[in-house]
Structure 1
Amino acid sequence: MPTRLDSVVVDADDPSALAAFWADALGWTVTFEAPDEVAVEAEGAPRWGEGGPPALVFGPVGDPKIGKNRVHLDLGSKDMEDHRGLVGRLLDRGARPADIGQGDVPWVVLADPEDNEFCVLQPRNEYRDGPAVAAVVLDCADPVGLAPFWSDATGWPVLARREGLVGLRHPTAPATWLELLSVVEPKRGKNRLHIDVAPYPADDHAAEVGRLERAGARRIDIGQGDVTWVVLSDPEGNELCVLSPR
């Protein structure tokens, strides 16, 4: 069986404070807290790979942010009143407007208290039935070329395709989308947000890592040391981790 999506991991100067912001922003719950990791989840929802939203996991990393993040969250809204209210509430709780050259678009770009960009989308049919995190967006040079790898990594089909964007989603459930977005800016340094995938409980961890390597991933060293997961990069160099089976 393929690996499945598990979580989005966020490098943070202050994991507890940033997790508290996102728990409040999404109406989710801090479900685990330790000095080296804080997790925020939508309690009662399926895991991301099973048709729900991703867990957000915050870890202490002191490296400075370099330019715009290559992975960001898109938040959905039910209607325009909900959209305006959500933007206002986020600004009141510590977000700030961000200008990344977006121009006149049907979403608002904000940054969280540690300057991680995210978007609050106006209502769209493709996100209307989904969770609070409508999409996890990964910047890349070639969405069409990268999509087969991420389909292998997630077990999800491509369900949306428009100019400059390819969207993958659970085939039957209203999960958070994984969207590959074309950008011209090159990757600079380690991504501050990355995606974790995991094999199913009965699957072999090493075999799944090998399968992803054959699909175009490569092993990388980001200083992780002796850990229970394997750090890979996708064919365009974006980091991802393969967790132990679960």
Structure 2
Amino acid sequence: MRKSALINVMERAARKAARKLLHDFGEVEQLQVSRKGPADFVSRADVAAEETIREELSRARPDFGFIQEEGGRIEAGDGDSYWIVDPLDGTTNFLHGLPHFAISIGLMQKGDIQAGVILAPVTDELYYAERGKGAFMNDRRLRVSGRSRMSEALFATGIPYMGRPGHDTLLAELRALTDNISGIRRFGVASLDLAFVAAGRFDGFWERGLHQWDIAAGIVLVREAGGLVTDIKGGRKMMETGDIVAGNGSLHAPLLKSLKAATATR
């Protein structure tokens, strides 16, 4: 499928930032054994990538605002259109030299997610979707998986860390699921978890307490690939609450039911 002008703008910004991230990623291994401390270096790489994306997108759409992980909110000149940007989703992976991280750019207009691009720089996999136009990975049409049995399902989730709340809830959810499914993965990059649901690699994904920039692009990807996305109550307040459940048409409901049952017993 020929990409729209909008997707081309988003891809160009992501790829320009990706070139810088890949260069910086090559320095991480050396920093790991130095006194300099890699965390500060990665923080600078994160900010630099976000600045690159903001400059590219602003040049193409000067009236659009921004909701950014590092740079905060910039109000939209048109009052309705916001880029939602995570310049480095998977910072901890990046910091440790793990080649699993992504750039995520979503576009929200009048409160609805209209388009999304997720780029995995190391694998050069570009996931993109536009409302009503389907989801793609490197020009290949994406569809969620066709699995319908929980016993065959592979799900992804996130684990709270560094003092974040929710450990007991997650443990209850894992107990409710692990005896009945094929497996659970925790890769540490929510945007790519959602992209993998869209691609049929995962059958579902859930996590609590995420930010808008973690999930905006992934929401439209999953929907345009034929999947379902809700909050953990089954509603549509993912962007407000940061709690999200995504899955294919057959397994979203049983996944949601299991999660609800797990928390109801606590």
The alignment's TM-score, normalised by the length of structure 1, stands at 0.30
**Structure of larger gyration radius:** 2
Between Structure 1 and Structure 2, the one with more strand by share is: 1
By percentage of residues, which structure has more helix? 2
